[in-house]
Amino acid sequence: MQHWRVYAPPGTYLRQANAQLHSDRRSEILDAARRCFSRTGFHQTSMQQICADAGMSPGNVYRYFPSKEAIIAGIAERDRAEVAAQLASAQFTTDFFTSFAALARHHFVERTAEEVGLCAEIMSESRRNPTISKIMNEFDADVKDRLVTMLSSAQARGDISREADIGTAVEMLMVIADGVWWRRAVDPNFNAEAVLPMFLDITKYMLLERGKERELERSADPDRVRAMRAGEE
């Protein structure tokens, strides 16, 4: 019996090891920057502080990120990949609203104070720094597109109303999410767990009941619309 052995081309393993080391170093720097930005703010944090927190020399850090703005871009790209993976892995086809509630709880309640603080810092800095504003707008646009795709699929399956205004619903979901994160960042007494049920009720209204109202409005039956809004149906 012949035994076939497959050998990688010379240098393959070394390149793979170098690529992994590069990825690990980037992650270490991004984690250190996240801690520093959350702790002392974007402006007050120096590259030297990030270097010290990461345990690396300035020259080594600058090899990966030439500026604080580049670090923010790296953090945003990593977060974008995480959001994409979460939406891709969520089992919306089984029970849409149960899966949506779990996703909302993760982002509203389970995200760390450090992550929430960093988000607030980036939101504030985006008003003054065009580079940060561009990074944030691109991140928001990507998340918005993914949410629209998710809800469009749910609409096609019949999980939400066929008349639901998906674009407007996504805008409102993102507005509420920004507000919850901001309250968590600035108010130590804010209880995100307590407001989560209300958020889910609002979401269901936008994606189910509001869609029914739109359908009735299009059918020109104002009496039924008024009755539904008054809770008579």
Give dist(CA 146, CA 151) in Å, integer. 9
Find out whether 30 and 71 touch, Cβ atoms under 8 Å.
Answer: yes
pLDDT of amino acid 86: 80
Lowest-confidence range among 10-14, 136-140, 150-154, 204-208? Answer: 10-14
- Model pLDDT for residues 59-87, shown as the tens digit of each residue: 999 999 999 889 988 988 888 888 888 87
Neighbours of 95 (CB within 10 A): 12
Q: Who contacts 217 (Cβ-Cβ below 8 Å, separation ≥6)?
A: 225
Listed residue (1, 5, 52) closest to 29, CA to CA: 52
Cβ(65)–Cβ(29) below 8 Å: yes
Q: Which residue has the higher pLDDT, 169 or 117?
A: 169
206: Cβ contacts below 8 Å, ≥ 6 apart: 164, 165, 168, 169, 172, 173
Residue among 171, 131, 126, 177 nearest 148 (CA) = 171
Nearest to 33 by CA among 144, 115, 148, 146: 115
Mean pLDDT of 20-34: 82
Q: Read off the pLDDT band of 4 (50, 70, 90).
A: very low
Which residue is associated with the tokens 């009735």? 216
Average model confidence (pLDDT) for the chain? 84
Give the mean pLDDT of 23-34: 89
Does 88 score more than 60 pLDDT? yes
pTM of the model: 0.74
Answer whether residue 21 shows pLDDT above 60: no
Q: Which amino acid is residue 228, in one-letter code?
A: M
> In the predicted model, what is the mean pLDDT of residues 200-208?
95
Structural domains of the chain, with CATH: 1-66 (1.10.10.60), 69-229 (1.10.357)
pLDDT score, position 10: 56
φ, ψ of residue 110 in degrees (nearest 5) = -85, -20
